Structure 1
Amino acid sequence: MEDLQEFERYMAHLSEGLGHSDRHAGLRGYTTGLMSPLQRKSVEPMAAHMDPLNVRSRHQSLHHFVAQTLVP
């Protein structure tokens, strides 16, 4: 429980730097994918792991977050 609270505080801290609130969901999804038990931490396997019924839309969402938010 304490780990979850610490994670939530960390996510809130990171979200402050993103500016737009619509980017917060992308950050959460991407971070969740990075912490998932996958050998390949690229967008497509993360999308398939997080939302197997909607891989295409999840992939597009994660890719958009990475391309638009993390790249200067």
Structure 2
Amino acid sequence: MREDVDDFDAYLNHLAQALGHADRHVGLKGYCSGLVMPLSRKSVEPMAAHIDPLHASAKHQSLHHFVAKAEWSDRAVLQRVREWVMPALDLHAA
């Protein structure tokens, strides 16, 4: 399990390099972590409450800002996804 968490963290760190400002890295990590949590609703409000129950309102605001208002290039993030995924696909295809 720890190896899976380390791999997920490494993947998110790789993606975060496409976001520019370091403040966006926290938003990416929080949002992606929320997407893989066992929640019935994958919107930022329940994610925030699950990630940081004591500061759910502030976490909600930061996640919402990351998703709806922060300026980052989806093209750059998708390029980072390709850089991570394609070598693994090539390895399995061989």
Equivalent residues in 2 for 1:1-72 (5 A)?
A: 1-69=2-70
Runs of 5+ consecutive residues of structure 2 not aligned to the other structure: 74-94
Displacement over 6 Å in runs of 4+: none
Q: Deviations over 1:37-59 (max 9, x none)?
A: 10100010111111112111111
1:4 shift after superposition: 2.1
Task: Give the structure, 1 or 2, with the largest relative contact order (CA under 8 Å, sep 6 or more).
Answer: 2
Question: TM-score, normalising length from structure 2?
Answer: 0.68
- Local SS of the residue matching 1:39: coil
Runs of 5+ consecutive residues of structure 1 not aligned to the other structure: none
Q: Deviations over 1:7-54 (max 9, x none)?
A: 122111101111111110111111111111101000101111111121
1:68 shift after superposition: 2.2
- Cα 1:55–1:34 change in 2 (3 A) is same
- Cα 1:22–1:71 change in 2 (3 A) is closer
* Identical columns (%): 58
**RMSD of the TM alignment (CA)?**
1.7
Greater per-residue helix proportion: 2
Q: Which protein shows a greater Rg?
A: 2
- Local SS of the residue matching 1:19: coil
CA distance in 1, matches of 2:16, 2:35: 16
